[in-house]
Amino acid sequence: MNKKALIPFAVFIAGLCSIIYELLISTTATYFLGDGVRQFSIIIGVYLFSMGIGAFLSKFLKDKPLQFFINVEFALGFIGGISVPLLYMLFVYVSPMVLQISCLAIIFVIGLLTGMEVPLLTFALEESNIKNNLSNVLSLDYIGGLIATLIFPFIILPFVGLYYSSLIFGMVNILLGIVLNYTLLKDKKKNSLYGFIAVIGLLVLVLFGGKFLKVWDQKIYKRPIVLNEQTPYQKIVMTKTKGDLRLYLNRVIQFSSADEYRYHESLVHIPLLMHNDPRRVLILGGGENLASREVLKHQSIESIDVVDIDSTMFFLAKENKYLMEINENAAVNTKVNLITQDAFTYLFNNTKPYDVIIADLPDPTNQAIARLYSKQFFLMAKRNLQKDGVFVTQSGEVYFSNTVFSCINNTLESVFEHVEPYHTYIPSFGDWGFIIGKHTNNEKEINYQSLPKDLKYLNQNQIEQAFVFPTDISVKETKLNTLDNPIILNYFLDEWAKWKVDFESGTQ
């Protein structure tokens, strides 16, 4: 391959790898530090800023542009390659602030080196008098970036994972430098030695990746891991000890089998008892089918639609022996219809009203989930209900995260004529809140005769107590959560940070 063809190819690969590094670091930072919008915004900003600095500094390297470009590829490939493994290690051993600074430092160096790539190759083209193809060559850099953004969510993240992806693309970067060195430079062996050393280092991390990841995951979850899967939407981890199976999504615990029945019985049966004759039920989230297990205990139920964005959760609910045991095979019950779709999109497109809608959704840890607690989302839920329908949503911890709980309550009050909060104590989570919304503005009427007899936790007395809040827990004034202003995300992150500090200091 001659210089006329090789340099455009180098621009394409360079553009592809650099965007992959930026996406990998942004996603890793989101997993470990939360708030995807904030992480992506800051990291992209630092990345572009450092690219500008790199482009400026490249003019001092124009004497030997190809040689410096090859060295840049070696450095960029090695730093980009180790970026995710390094962040995994730092997450275990350093504070969130140090981890955040480390993310920005790594992306700054990557952006700096990336900013040098195209100018150096441009200088090389000028040296070779290949000027008429300059615009075509530069366009390949953007094409490489486009392809990177397309393959990242559909191929790289679900099938390769963050850890191995950074190492693989790091080696691609370095091998590009080695090929250019052997093809275009006279002094081949000496300069390529650095590249071979870097590739060997990344290969070691690939070969021992399974062991490293196992050690790091064990330090994070502190319990034996029985399932560890990365999907296009989330990282799913299950841990198991004697008598306790735990499910984590993106490191956030979703349930503990030791006490999940308290949560799911409270979430499901209380709103069902507030409907005269519930037949059609919609569950938003709850792909593990623990909520549908509880709904099936009501004889009047004719159909249950479970909507979850991640089909892997449905697969596990039907095939994983641990989940099947806990959900009592609810996922394969003929009354249960599993729908792989985004909850927001489903409510927008659905035309068949439900008697009861149960929002069993994760806490609003990022922008995508925060919209599922917005006024617009609740308006669509209301539209999807029968006139006598009942809507309920889980609302987080009511004491340590009272502002989030209050924000959900206040936002629901702007939509429904009658809103009723209640709570229950769940040892694995704390004092957990739920909020009911109804079309009709009347007092709660609960049909206790319809309460299933085989429940582990709920009884009439417990239900009555669930609507009673202690004096130190009240609904405070907050802004409404909307699509345009997802204030609940700020409330959640602020309270989570304070809560974390309190627990690290040994106080509650």
- What's the pLDDT tens digit per position in 468-484? 999 999 999 999 999 99
Domain regions of the chain by residue span: 3-216, 221-254, 259-504
Direct distance between the N- and C-terminal alpha carbons of the chain, in angstroms, rounded to an integer? 66
- Cα-Cα-Cα-Cα torsion 169, 174, 179, 184, nearest 10 degrees, comes to 130
Q: How confident is the model at residue 505 (pLDDT cuts 50, 70, 90)?
A: very low
User: What whole-number distance in Å separates Cα of residue 364 and Cα of residue 469?
Assistant: 23
Q: Is 360 a residue of the active site?
A: yes
Say which of 35, 360, 363, 431 is annotated catalytic. Answer: 360
Q: Which fold has domain 3-216?
A: Growth Hormone; Chain: A; (1.20.1250)
Q: Which residue has the higher pLDDT, 94 or 126?
A: 94
φ, ψ for residue 282, nearest 5 deg? -115, 130
Average pLDDT, the chain: 89
* Residue of 188, 174, 30 lying closest to 103 (CA atoms): 30
pLDDT, tens digit, for every residue of 130-146? 554 556 667 888 888 89
- Tell me the one-letter amino acid at 264: H
User: Do 3-216 and 259-504 show the same overall fold?
Assistant: no
User: What whole-number distance in Å separates Cα of residue 310 and Cα of residue 119?
Assistant: 42
Q: How confident is the model at residue 440 (pLDDT cuts 50, 70, 90)?
A: confident
**Six-digit token string for 240:** 């198991």
pLDDT, tens digit, for every residue of 316-369? 999 999 999 999 999 999 999 999 999 999 999 999 999 999 999 999 988 889
Query: What are the beta bridge partners of residue 416?
Result: none
The region of weakest confidence among 5-14, 291-300, 386-395, 429-438 is 5-14
CATH number of 259-504: 3.40.50.150
Q: How confident is the model at residue 118 (pLDDT cuts 50, 70, 90)?
A: confident
Q: How confident is the model at residue 502 (pLDDT cuts 50, 70, 90)?
A: very low
Residue 465: pLDDT over 60: yes
Query: What are the beta bridge partners of residue 253?
Result: 248
Residue 486: pLDDT over 50: yes
User: What whole-number distance in Å separates Cα of residue 79 and Cα of residue 107?
Assistant: 9
Half-sphere exposure of 413 (CA within 13 A, CB side): 14
pLDDT at position 507 is: 37
pLDDT at position 137 is: 64
pLDDT at position 361 is: 95
Measure Cα distances from 93 to 63, 166, 205, 280 in Å: 43, 21, 19, 49
pLDDT, tens digit, for every residue of 21-52? 999 999 999 888 877 778 889 999 999 999 99
pLDDT at position 182 is: 84
pLDDT, tens digit, for every residue of 360-403? 999 998 888 999 999 999 999 999 999 999 999 999 999 999 99
How large a percentage of the chain has pLDDT more than 70? 93
Residue 1: pLDDT over 60: no
pLDDT, tens digit, for every residue of 218-251? 788 888 999 998 888 888 999 999 889 999 988 8
pLDDT at position 186 is: 67
* Residue of 317, 322, 319 lying closest to 337 (CA atoms): 317
Residue 157: pLDDT over 60: yes
Strand, coil or helix: what is 47? helix
Q: How much is the pTM?
A: 0.80
* Residue of 391, 378, 404 lying closest to 483 (CA atoms): 378
162-189: burial string, b at 16+ Cβ within 10 Å, e else: bbbbbbbbbbbbbbbbbbbbeebeeeee
Residue 180: pLDDT over 90: no
User: What whole-number distance in Å separates Cα of residue 364 and Cα of residue 370?
Assistant: 5
pLDDT, tens digit, for every residue of 55-72? 999 989 888 888 889 999
